[in-house]
């Protein structure tokens, strides 16, 4: 099970969601865990759906 506060990567374009940064243009405040993001949020780089992200392993 992925750490809920960890990094998530878009499998399609390589964008990495970092909870420490959030996604200001997407309406996501810093500190928001990936699981807390609304389902209709999309990748800021390629427009992929939230379902296209997976936990980023170090």
Residue 49's DSSP bridge partners are 42
**Residue closer to other proteins (CB basis): 18 or 50:** 18
Token pair for 39: 């389902």
**Residue closer to other proteins (CB basis): 1 or 20:** 20
**Residue closer to other proteins (CB basis): 9 or 50:** 9
37: closest CA among 45, 47, 46, 27? Answer: 27
Q: Is 37 in the site for other proteins (CB under 8 A)?
A: no
In whole angstroms, give the CA distance from residue 5 to residue 31: 9
Chain residues in the site for other proteins (CB under 8 A): 7, 9-10, 12-16, 18, 21, 24-26, 44-48, 56
């Amino acid at each position: 099970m992925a750490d809920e506060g960890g990094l998530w990567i878009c499998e399609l374009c390589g964008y990495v969601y970092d909870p420490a940064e959030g996604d200001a243009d997407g309406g996501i405040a810093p500190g928001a865990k990936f699981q807390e993001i609304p389902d209709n949020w999309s990748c800021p780089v390629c427009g992929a759906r939230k379902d296209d992200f997976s936990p980023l392993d170090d």
